[in-house]
Chain A
Amino acid sequence: MNEDIKTFTISIYTENNIGLLNRISAIFQRRHINIESLTTSQSEIEGVNRFVIVVNITEEQAKKIVGQFEKQIEVIRAFYHTDEETIYQESCMFKIKSNLLFEEPQIQNIIKESNTRIVTVNKEFFVLEKSGRRNEIESLRRDLNVFGIMQFVRSGRIAVTKDEMKVTEMLLAFNNQ
Chain B
Amino acid sequence: MNTQTAKKTKEVINKTERITGSEAIIKCLIAEGVDILYGYPGGAIMPVYDELYKYQDKIHHVLTRHEQGATHAAQGYARISGKVGVAMATSGPGATNLVTGIADAQIDSTPMVCITGQVFSHLLGSDAFQETDIVGISTPVTKWNHQVTKASEIPEVLAKAFYIAKSGRPGPVLIDITKDAQVSELDFEYKKCTGIRSYIPVPKTNPDKVKAAAELINSAKKPMIVWGQGVILGQAENELKAVIEKAGIPSAWTILGASAIPTSHPLNIGMVGMHGNYAPNKLTNECDVLIAIGMRFDDRVTGSLNTYAKQAKIIHFDIDPAEIDKNVKTDVAVIGDSKDSLAKLLPLLKETSHDSWLKEFKDLYAIEFEKVIKDDITPTKEGLTMGEVIRQINIETKGNAAIVSDVGQHQMIACRYADFNITKSNITSGGLGTMGFALPAAIGAKMAAPEREVVAIIGDGGYQMTIQELGTIFQQKVPVKIVVLNNEFLGMVRQWQQLFFDKRYASTEMTNPNFVAIAEGYYIKARKVVKREELAEAVKEMIASKDSYFLEVCVEKEGNVFPMIPSGASVSDVRLS
> Do the two shown chains form a genuine complex with each other?
yes
Question: Which A residues contact B (CB, under 8 angstroms)?
Answer: 14-19, 22-23, 26, 30, 47, 63-64, 67-68, 70-71, 73-76, 170-171, 174-175, 177
Known: A19-B146, A30-B140, A71-B320. A76 touches B326 (CB 8 A): no
Tell me which residues across on chain B come within 8 A of A73, comparing CB atoms: 143-144, 164, 196, 198-199
What's the Cα separation between A15 and B199 when bound, in Å? 11
Interface residues on B, range: 20 to 34
Q: What 1/0 mask marks residues of chain B from 530 to 546 whose CB sits below 8 Å from any chain A CB?
A: 00000000000000000
Contact B139 A23 (CB under 8 A): yes
Smallest beta-carbon distance B320→chain A, Å: 7
Among B7, B139, B321, max chain A CB count under 10 A is at B139
Q: What 1/0 mask marks residues of chain B from 315 to 326 whose CB sits below 8 Å from any chain A CB?
A: 000001110111
Contact A67 B321 (CB under 8 A): yes
Q: A14-B198, A174-B7 are in contact. List 15 more A-B contacts (CB 8 A).
A: A15-B5, A15-B198, A16-B2, A19-B135, A19-B136, A19-B139, A19-B145, A26-B139, A63-B325, A67-B322, A70-B321, A70-B322, A73-B144, A73-B199, A74-B198
Tell me which residues from 145 to 202 in chain B have a Cβ below 8 Å from any Cβ of chain A.
Answer: 145-147, 164, 195-200
Query: 20 interchain pairs (CB within 8 A)?
Result: A16-B2, A17-B2, A19-B136, A26-B139, A47-B2, A63-B325, A64-B322, A64-B325, A64-B326, A67-B321, A71-B321, A73-B164, A73-B196, A74-B198, A76-B197, A170-B197, A171-B197, A174-B195, A174-B197, A177-B7
What's the Cα separation between A74 and B197 when bound, in Å? 8
Contact A67 B145 (CB under 8 A): no
What's the Cα separation between A16 and B7 when bound, in Å? 17
Interface of B is mostly: mixed
What's the Cα separation between A158 and B195 when bound, in Å? 32
Contact B2 A15 (CB under 8 A): yes
What's the Cα separation between A87 and B181 when bound, in Å? 46
Smallest beta-carbon distance A2→chain B, Å: 14
Tell me which residues across on chain B come within 8 A of A171, comparing CB atoms: 197
Smallest beta-carbon distance B91→chain A, Å: 17
Q: What 1/0 mask marks residues of chain B from 545 to 557 whose CB sits below 8 Å from any chain A CB?
A: 0000000000000
Tell me which residues across on chain A come within 8 A of B200, comparing CB atoms: 170
Tell me which residues across on chain A come within 8 A of B326, comparing CB atoms: 64, 67
Contact A22 B139 (CB under 8 A): yes
B4 — nearest CB in chain A belongs to which residue? A47
Contact B198 A76 (CB under 8 A): yes
Tell me which residues across on chain B come within 8 A of A71, comparing CB atoms: 320-322
What's the Cα separation between A26 and B137 when bound, in Å? 11
What's the Cα separation between A15 and B322 when bound, in Å? 20
Smallest beta-carbon distance A66→chain B, Å: 9
What's the Cα separation between A1 and B393 when bound, in Å? 51
Tell me which residues across on chain A come within 8 A of B197, comparing CB atoms: 76, 170-171, 174-175
Tell me which residues across on chain A come within 8 A of B199, comparing CB atoms: 73-74
The 9 tightest CB contacts between A and B, nearest first, are A67-B322, A174-B197, A76-B198, A73-B144, A26-B140, A71-B322, A73-B199, A22-B139, A74-B198
Smallest beta-carbon distance A64→chain B, Å: 6
Contact B146 A68 (CB under 8 A): no
Tell me which residues across on chain A come within 8 A of B324, comparing CB atoms: 67
